[in-house]
Amino acid sequence: MKFNDVVKITASSCSKKFIVVYNVPCIVDTNISLYFVKMFGKPVYPLKSIKLLKIETSDSIHIESRIGSKIVKLTMPQKFKAHDLFNIKRKIEFEKCLINWLIDTLQINIEMG
C-alpha cells in the first residue's frame, strides 16, 4: 500500500511558516513520539500527562499532534515552500518516521510514494 493512499495530506502556509497536515487512519497514541526521537528529538511535554505531542528542532521544524486525534502536523520555515514538496529532506525524514509508526500500529505494509 502507498503512503498517499493511507494518509490524506494537505499543505498551507502563512507569512512565516509552511505547514503540512497529515490525516492518519488511526488514533495518535503516546508511542508515536518514539518514532521521531532519533531524527527530531524528544517531545517538549510529557505525553502521558499533557496529551500534546510537540517536538521542536534546532532547524525550526515543529511536529505537533494531540494524543487521541487523527491529525499530525509538520511545520517548517516559509523558505521550504519554494522547494518541490516531494523533495524536502526533512519532510521525507518525517514521513519515514510516520510510516514506521503506521506500519507498527496498523500492522500493514506501507511504502513511500
pLDDT by residue, tens only, the chain of 113 residues: 999 999 999 988 888 898 999 999 999 999 999 999 999 999 999 998 999 999 999 999 999 999 999 999 999 998 776 666 667 889 999 999 999 999 999 999 999 87
97: cell is 518516521
Q: Which domain holds residue 72?
A: 3-106
Please count the other Cβ atoms lying within 10 Å of the Cβ belonging to residue 28. Answer: 22
Where helices occur in 46-111 by DSSP H, the ranges are 47-50, 89-106
Total number of domains in the chain: 1
- Kindly state whether residue 112 falls inside one of the protein's structural domains: no
pTM over 0.85: yes
To the nearest 10 degrees (0 to 180), the angle between helices 32-40 and 89-106 is 150
Order of strands across the sheet with 62-66?
8-13, 17-23, 71-77, 62-66, 52-56
Burial of 107 (0-12, 13-18, 19+ CB in 10 A): exposed
Residue 51 phi/psi, 5-degree rounding, is: 65, 25
In a domain, 113, yes or no: no
Q: What is the CATH number of the domain that holds 7?
A: 3.30.310
